[in-house]
Amino acid sequence: MAGPVSFFFEVLFSGLLAGVMYSLVALGFVLIYKASGVFNFAQGAMVFFAALTFVSLVERGVNFWLAMAITLAVMILLGILTERVVLRPLINQPPITLFMATIGLTFFLEGLSQGIWGAQPHGLDIGIRDEPMEWLADRTGMFLSQFDLFASGIAAVLVTVLALFFQRTRIGRALRAVADDHQAALAVGIPLKHIWAIVWAVAGFVALVAGLLWGARTGVQYALTFVALKALPVLILGGFESIAGAIVGGLIIGASEKLAEVYLGPYVGGGIESWFPYVLALAFLLFRPEGLFGEKHIDRV
């Protein structure tokens, strides 16, 4: 039943699945922005750092799961250190200062990871092939990558876990409280410093998951830091403060960029994929600057 319709759906679905990968990166930004109002420029570097650490450990013969645990521990430590060394001294400074600090952190992380593990690119095999699923192709005529489906499954699990953490736990509630009102959070005795360290650690964990999936797809190399740029239109679309926005934004960007490539590409020339998301995001910015899911500011006195 291969035809224009099933081809359309193939393009759409593969776009949606690719979009999940963007969502994963955007998620890390959202977490930190929500809790501390900092746009963490270093998120891409964190993804790279996590992936490189993991792959280097595996190449040195460390067991897959152990390497994962060690990398996770490193990312959590990194989160705590970032709070201590970078954020705490800058408390009460304007957001732009904190933003600059995360730029500094980016270069530090890039230097650190390459200093420790070397600059050569690595392949990363997590055991899932980036090949079309045969049974799906046989039944529907659509060629969808099983890797993409796997990545989406992982992302779904991750988002569910995060949502439960935020909604159901004492710390999760405190994180949302801090995101809402720093002053009031302090007044009820929530220690902002611990909360920020936790948020950075969670963002580190998300960076690790994103790093493994992106690393498995593109190889672990310096260019991985640029996946952060892919998250930017997602954030503009979805809003900087919304986890749901990061997911939906990623899906929209992923789908529209693939559809544009296939259906508009022939008319405007190649490479449309690389700029289309930004145009879409900018157009969107004109109509809904707070993003699709950006939190409405409740103004009521």
Q: List residues near another protein by CB under 8 A.
A: 92, 170, 173-174, 176-177, 179-191, 295, 298, 300-301
Q: Which residues contact 293 (CB under 8 A, 6 or more apart)?
A: 238, 239, 241, 242, 244, 245, 248, 249
Residue number, 54 or 166, with CB nearest to another protein? 166
Q: d(Cα 253, Cα 231) in Å, to the nearest integer?
A: 9
Q: d(Cα 82, Cα 43) in Å, to the nearest integer?
A: 12
Query: In whole angstroms, how close is the CB of 176 to another protein at the nearest point?
Result: 6
Query: Please, are residues 124 and 55 in contact by the beta-carbon 8 Å criterion?
Result: yes
Residue number, 73 or 90, with CB nearest to another protein? 90
How many CB atoms are closer than 10 A to CB 166?
Answer: 18
Two tokens, residue 10: 């193939």
Residue number, 143 or 173, with CB nearest to another protein? 173
Residue number, 131 or 181, with CB nearest to another protein? 181
Residue number, 126 or 173, with CB nearest to another protein? 173
Angle subtended at Cα 191 by Cα 178 and Cα 97, rounded to the nearest 5 degrees = 65
| Long-range contacts (CB closer than 8 Å, 24 or more residues apart) made by 127-131 | 128/216, 130/216, 130/217
Query: In whole angstroms, how close is the CB of 202 to another protein at the nearest point?
Result: 18
Query: In whole angstroms, how close is the CB of 34 to another protein at the nearest point?
Result: 10
Residue number, 115 or 189, with CB nearest to another protein? 189
Query: In whole angstroms, how close is the CB of 277 to another protein at the nearest point?
Result: 28
Query: In whole angstroms, how close is the CB of 114 to another protein at the nearest point?
Result: 38
Query: In whole angstroms, how close is the CB of 174 to another protein at the nearest point?
Result: 6
Two tokens, residue 77: 């430590």
Residue number, 60 or 300, with CB nearest to another protein? 300
Q: Which residues are 145's β-sheet partners? A: 132
Q: What is the DSSP string of 89-136?
A: GGTT--HHHHHHHHHHHHHHHHHHHHHHH-SS-B----S---SB-HHH
Q: d(Cα 74, Cα 57) in Å, to the nearest integer?
A: 12
Query: In whole angstroms, how close is the CB of 88 to another protein at the nearest point?
Result: 12
